[in-house]
Amino acid sequence: MLLETHDKLLFIGDSVTDVDRARPVGQGLAFGLGHGYPLLVNAQLALRFPQLHVEVLNLGTSGNTTRDLLARWESDVLAHKPSVVSILIGINDVWREFDCPGRKDQVTVDEYAANLRTLIASTLPEVKAILLLTPFFLELHADDPMRSMTDEYAAVCRAVAEENERVWLVDTQAAFDQLLARRHYMTIAGDRVHPNTTGHLLISELVTDMLATAELVTGENTVRAGQHP
């Protein structure tokens, strides 16, 4: 289990994490956490581990790229002193290549990798663990240009997660691919990026299961739980 009593779990990312969360900090009762997977993770933790009394924060911001996260990391992550941080970022790094063709300021896959490593390096000394969620695109055809590029950025997440034993990979793309084998993407995310409640429930189950089954790394001999899914 990655969480202990009265720990603070902080979610950060783009619109897939934001989902109308409260400002300046998404937290508290009602829909302060927004309407997406952070809200559902909070509910699942309360049901499955009520004794822990985990505090959950949502600092997702629509439209963000890894470059944007770098600019606000100190104020929106480190200043809150979280115990565990969950990062889901990358689809806007990809999307700008397609909805704004010709722009010169897109976040390339190399910059994406460098940005992730910078975020992780600045955070690991301050937290117990980091969850790194792969960006996803709900398209099964691997030759689709946006799916192909999203796969490149997701591969970066997998590689970066392997570089440190306290970074845990949550492979959302693999999980969505399994669901897409049985359901059309229109029943999960009409634009193939922003999930409906079904999609957010899937992400929340992946995150909650990882929080529950992974082991805190406290020494060189600690054995990691299996990656998800």
Q: What is the set of active-site residues?
A: 15, 191, 194
How many residues make up the chain in this entry? 229
Q: Are strands 55-58 and 84-88 parallel, antiparallel or unpaired?
A: unpaired
Prior bond of 229 cis (ω within 30°): yes
Number of Cβ within 10 Å of residue 198's Cβ equals 12
Asked whether the beta carbons of 77 and 30 are under 8 A apart, the reply is no
Asked whether the beta carbons of 112 and 66 are under 8 A apart, the reply is yes
3-state secondary structure of 7: coil
| Phi, psi dihedral angles at 43 (to 5 degrees) | -65, -40
The DSSP secondary-structure symbol of 102 reads T
Asked whether the beta carbons of 111 and 153 are under 8 A apart, the reply is no
